[in-house]
Amino acid sequence: MKGHIRKRGKSSWSIVVELEPRPDGKRRQKWETVHGLKKKAEERLAEILHSMNIGTYVEPAKLTVEEYLAKWLETVKVNLSGKTFERYREIATRHLVPALGPILLAKLTPLHIQAYYSKALQSGRLDKRQGGLSTQTVLHHHRVLRESLRQAVKWQMLVRNPADAVEPPVVQRKEMKALSESETAWLLKAAMGTKLYLPILLTVTTGLRRGELLALRWRDLDLEKGTLAVVRSVEETREGIRFKEPKTAKGRRLISLPLLSLEELRRHLSVQSSERRTLDSVYQDSDLVLSASDGQIWKPESFTALYFRFTKRIGVSLRFHDLRHTHATQLLKAGISAKVVSERLGHSSVGITLDVYSHVLPGMQEEAAARIDAALRKEMEKQRSCVV
């Protein structure tokens, strides 16, 4: 394949690729327009020629949204965790493709996308229940579609991203649940003697996520120094269970443990060692702090099912993730800096912590004002006494 570039406008170029001639010998050409610098057009020409030579080139004008999403999913699969990829694929195949799939990618408009969002909010459910999807769910659809189309712009299949011109649904943030210290103590008392006691205790004292908790190994703990290293997490997908590294550098962190957790971990280690000796060859030692009865990994879905049965039995409605919120909220209310809380939670920035836990800040502001007032008044009284 051969090709060349022609100047088309002030900042646009025409890429002309010579195709195989027709059966009657007549010349065939493929034209494509690129906006920007000549270097950009040269790079695009090289991409086209390469993809044509290996048989992967598809003319943008003939590519449907369905075909494009399939290609996009294949390219992003290597950079996403298994669970995230499953969510992307489900959104694309079960929702975006049925609604927008037949439309030519080059003809996709903001109106098409906006109409889909409106319909999804009214009647987008695919299960037995009637009605529309939540604003949060449709917002997820918007993010996936916008990300995919952003890549189409980079690949020069689109001049601009039509999803950028669409107003996504506004999600009303729900106030997260967080237990008070007395409620936390009550929950721990209810869990005492069950397999959930240690995971609940560790989460309310460290803020670990479920995946981080179930991936924790004894080698990640230093019971002498009282620290816990978060170096991996576990996820469960349709393809099975796997361990993965934290998403960000801040996700890999060292957490100081309170004495309450250290004491329980030492006790748990002793119990686990006894179980290992009892089961002998049946026990498969995987070095996991929290494991199944045979020593193997405790499947996340099985863990969550057990937790929900427990909360139902004691009559509370509380997600396991709310225990992480409980840890953060109690620290902030105790006057611990947002930076320290952010480091314990593994947030990529302190800004995320401040945004997520903004509902806690008003009370802290009042307490800060009261403290500075008391301190200044005390010093002012001292000055008056000196004058007298």
Instruction: Quote the CA–CA distance of 299 and 235 in Å, as a whole number.
Output: 9
Instruction: Quote the CA–CA distance of 191 and 205 in Å, as a whole number.
Output: 15
The pLDDT, as a whole number, for residue 2 is 82
Q: Which residues have CB under 8 Å from 242's CB, separation 6+?
A: 82, 234, 235
The pLDDT, as a whole number, for residue 348 is 87
Partnered with residue 255 across adjacent β-strands are 228
Is 60 exceeded by the pLDDT of residue 388? no
In degrees, to the nearest 5, what angle opens at C-alpha 61 toward C-alphas 56 and 65? 80
Domains of the chain: 2-57 (no CATH), 65-165 (1.10.150.130), 181-356 (1.10.443.10)
For residue 381, name the pLDDT band (cuts at 50, 70, 90). Answer: confident
Give residue-wise pLDDT tens across range 104-120. 998 999 999 999 999 99
Q: How confident is the model over 180-199, as a mean pLDDT?
A: 94
The pLDDT, as a whole number, for residue 147 is 95
For residue 92, name the pLDDT band (cuts at 50, 70, 90). Answer: very high
pTM (2 d.p.): 0.69
Percent of the chain with pLDDT over 70: 94
Interstrand relation of 240-244 and 233-237 (parallel, antiparallel or unpaired)? antiparallel
Is 70 exceeded by the pLDDT of residue 151? yes
For residue 364, name the pLDDT band (cuts at 50, 70, 90). Answer: low
The pLDDT, as a whole number, for residue 202 is 96
The pLDDT, as a whole number, for residue 65 is 94
The pLDDT, as a whole number, for residue 24 is 80
* Amino acid letter, residue 137: T
The pLDDT, as a whole number, for residue 199 is 96
Q: How confident is the model over 116-139, as a mean pLDDT?
A: 88
Q: How confident is the model over 256-271, as a mean pLDDT?
A: 94
Give residue-wise pLDDT tens across range 314-331. 999 999 999 999 999 999
- Please, what is the average pLDDT of the chain? 87
Instruction: Quote the CA–CA distance of 9 and 6 in Å, as a whole number.
Output: 9
Compute the CA torsion angle 308, 309, 312, 314 (nearest 10 deg).
-110
65-76 and 82-91 helices, crossing angle to 10°: 180
The pLDDT, as a whole number, for residue 57 is 63
Give residue-wise pLDDT tens across range 34-68. 888 888 888 888 888 887 777 666 666 678 999 99
Which residue in 144, 346, 351 sits closest to 247, CA to CA?
346
Most confident of 111-115, 285-289, 337-341, 345-349: 111-115
Backbone φ and ψ of 210, nearest 5°:
-55, -50
* Amino acid letter, residue 352: I
Neighbours of 385 (CB within 10 A): 8
Q: How confident is the model over 185-212, as a mean pLDDT?
A: 95
Is 90 exceeded by the pLDDT of residue 182? yes
Helices and strands: H and E segment counts in the chain: 15, 8
> Higher-confidence residue: 302 or 363?
302
Is 60 exceeded by the pLDDT of residue 159? yes
Give residue-wise pLDDT tens across range 223-257. 999 999 999 999 888 888 888 888 888 899 999 99
Task: For 84-131, give the DSSP string.
Answer: HHHHHHHHIIIIIHHHHTTSBGGG--HHHHHHHHHHHHHH---SSS-S
Alpha helices in 320-360 (DSSP H): 321-333, 338-345, 350-356
Strand arrangement of the beta sheet that strand 227-230 belongs to: 221-222, 227-230, 253-256
Is residue 196 within 8 Å of residue 289, measured between CB atoms? no
The pLDDT, as a whole number, for residue 60 is 64
The pLDDT, as a whole number, for residue 56 is 63
